[in-house]
């Protein structure tokens, strides 16, 4: 078994609590569906947001998903690089799996699909 990372990102239109929570839940649910994740196999989840988002802790959305309330979560601020994508939420999920790196399905939604067009649908 290996410890693999699954990346995901999304954007929101406004610095709004409900919008941040909804976008985070949507992103995680898409990552779960694409990778068939079981919360028992998750080591931890890193969540970052750009500095223009401060209306909510996105970890709240993760804890509300059935089975994910005990998964270790950490929120942080994304490095504020000039010209970077605004209003962006990113996830890095560390999972124990037998799958190869190539089998990991990374998810980029909304405006975040420009971050990794090679991986976005």
Confidence of residue 120 (pLDDT cuts 50, 70, 90): low
Q: How many domains does the chain have?
A: 1
- Is residue 26 helix, strand or coil? helix
pLDDT tens-digit map of 41-80? 999 999 999 999 999 999 999 999 999 999 999 999 999 9
pLDDT, position 118: 83
Domain extent at residue 21: 2-114
- Say if residue 88's pLDDT is above 90: yes
Inform me whether the pLDDT recorded for 121 exceeds 70. no
92, 28 in Cβ contact below 8 A?
no
CA separation for the pair 34, 105 (Å, rounded):
6
Q: Residue 99 CB: number of other CB atoms within 10 A?
A: 15
Q: How many whole angstroms separate alpha carbon 62 and alpha carbon 13? A: 20
Q: In the structure, what pLDDT confidence band is assigned to residue 119 with cuts at 50, 70 and 90? A: confident
Residue 119 lies in a domain: no
Positions marked catalytic: 7, 63, 75, 78, 90, 108, 116
Tens of pLDDT, residue by residue over 20-46, are 999 999 999 999 999 999 999 999 999
CATH number at residue 69: 3.30.1330.40
- β-pairing verdict for 2-11 and 107-108: parallel
Query: For the whole model, what pTM was predicted?
Result: 0.94
Work out the average pLDDT over 82-91: 96
Q: Is residue 120 part of a domain?
A: no
Residue 52 located in a structural domain: yes
DSSP state for residue 86 in the 8-state scheme: S
How much is the CA Rg of the chain, to the nearest whole Å? 14
């Amino acid at each position: 078994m290996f410890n693999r990372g699954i990346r995901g990102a999304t954007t929101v239109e406004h610095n709004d609590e409900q919008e941040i929570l909804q976008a985070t839940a949507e992103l995680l649910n898409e990552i779960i569906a694409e990778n068939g994740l079981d919360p028992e196999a998750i080591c931890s989840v890193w969540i970052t947001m750009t500095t223009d988002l401060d209306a909510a802790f996105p970890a709240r959305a993760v804890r509300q998903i059935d089975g994910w309330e005990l998964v270790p979560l950490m929120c942080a601020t994304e490095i504020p690089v000039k010209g970077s994508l605004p209003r962006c939420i990113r996830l890095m999920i560390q999972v124990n799996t037998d799958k190869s790196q190539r089998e990991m399905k990374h998810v980029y939604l909304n405006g975040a699909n420009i971050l990794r067009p090679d991986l976005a649908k």
